[in-house]
């Protein structure tokens, strides 16, 4: 795990993070609470949120949780309203919630194409749309969307996933342009292959022979550090940036 600093860059910040039940979002939640933030985690899995909450509590952090399917805009609006009733503001929104599956284009079920885009891309849009009025009213806020290097190089048997992540990058560029001069900013983290339950499932789906050809990946804590940086005031001059390991040759 990344070394914990003495400085508290997120001290007093109130952070809303999706996909917090596992993977990158779980690591980021723990890191941000350790760094002084109060975090509200959202995820479809109550069990996953419980596991993250145990890690946050063990680290002495402040944590709230709510189950949510981010692909449902009505539920997203209700969840954000509930958070704002509990808190007086949302300082940071981190969109990490995502799903993936393996299908060639010719064999892709129509409903699976839609499911992946609705969670990964539509969910990001719904969360931003729901949170932005509060941020804009206060003229302060940071949005961090977590995409993927697949947005730039595609994904064999994962055109739906790559398209959704490419859409996230373009959406963030557009949103950041709209936010100029408002005191609110939006940036994208573009991780390379990361060691999470999602990538474990992909490796298993490829079988032993295929899995040996996949990149071994970086720890989720490394991505969490970048999320923390973009969430904090240290990156206050950054808006509309896509940062991370955007190119990852096969097998490296």
**pLDDT tens, position by position, 58-89:** 999 999 999 999 999 999 999 999 999 999 99
Tokens for 167?
């859409």
What is the chain's mean pLDDT, rounded? 88
Q: Which domains does the chain have, with CATH numbers?
A: 14-244 (3.40.50.720)
**What backbone torsions phi and psi does residue 146 show, to the nearest 5 degrees?**
-100, 110
Give per-residue pLDDT as tens, 173-197.
999 999 999 999 999 999 866 555 5
Q: What is the mean pLDDT of residues 233-247?
A: 86
240/171 Cα distance (integer angstroms): 10
Q: Is 36 left (phi over 0), alpha (psi -120 to 50) or beta?
A: left
Which residue, 214, 223, 215, is CA-closest to 244? 223
Q: Which of 68-72, 153-157, 176-180, 204-208 has the lowest mean pLDDT?
A: 204-208
Q: What pLDDT is recorded for position 75?
A: 98
Which residue, 116, 29, 13, is CA-closest to 66? 29
Cβ–Cβ under 8 Å, residues 186 and 175: yes
Assign 251 a pLDDT band (cuts: 50, 70, 90).
very low
Write the CA distances from 138 to 91, 93, 134, 182, 219, integer angstroms. 10, 14, 6, 9, 35
Q: What is the mean pLDDT of residues 117-133?
A: 98
- Name the catalytic one among 9, 126, 161, 173: 161
173 is catalytic: no
Which residue, 30, 42, 28, 136, is CA-closest to 80? 42
């Amino acid at each position: 795990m990344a070394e914990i600093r003495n400085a508290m860059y997120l001290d007093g910040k109130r952070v809303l993070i999706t996909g917090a039940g596992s993977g990158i979002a779980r690591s980021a939640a723990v890191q941000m609470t350790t760094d002084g933030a109060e975090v509200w985690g959202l995820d479809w899995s109550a069990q996953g949120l419980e596991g993250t909450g145990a890690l946050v509590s063990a680290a002495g952090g402040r944590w709230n949780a709510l189950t949510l399917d981010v692909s449902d805009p009505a539920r997203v609006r209700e969840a954000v309203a509930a958070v704002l009733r509990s808190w007086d503001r949302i300082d940071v929104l981190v969109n990490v919630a995502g799903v993936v599956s393996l299908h060639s284009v010719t064999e892709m079920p129509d409903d699976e194409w839609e499911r992946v885009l609705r969670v990964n891309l539509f969910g990001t849009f719904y969360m931003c749309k729901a949170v932005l009025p509060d941020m804009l009213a206060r003229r302060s806020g940071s949005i961090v969307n977590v995409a993927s290097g697949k947005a730039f190089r595609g994904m064999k048997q994962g055109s739906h996933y790559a398209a959704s992540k490419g859409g996230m990058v373009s959406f963030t560029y557009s949103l950041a342009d709209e936010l100029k001069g408002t005191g609110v900013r939006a940036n994208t983290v573009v991780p390379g292959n990361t060691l999470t339950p999602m990538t474990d499932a992909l490796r298993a789906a490829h079988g032993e022979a295929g899995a040996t050809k996949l990149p071994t990946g970086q720890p989720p804590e490394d991505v969490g550090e970048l999320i923390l940086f973009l969430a904090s005031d240290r990156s206050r001059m950054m808006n509309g940036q896509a940062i991370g390991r955007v190119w990852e040759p096969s097998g490296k």
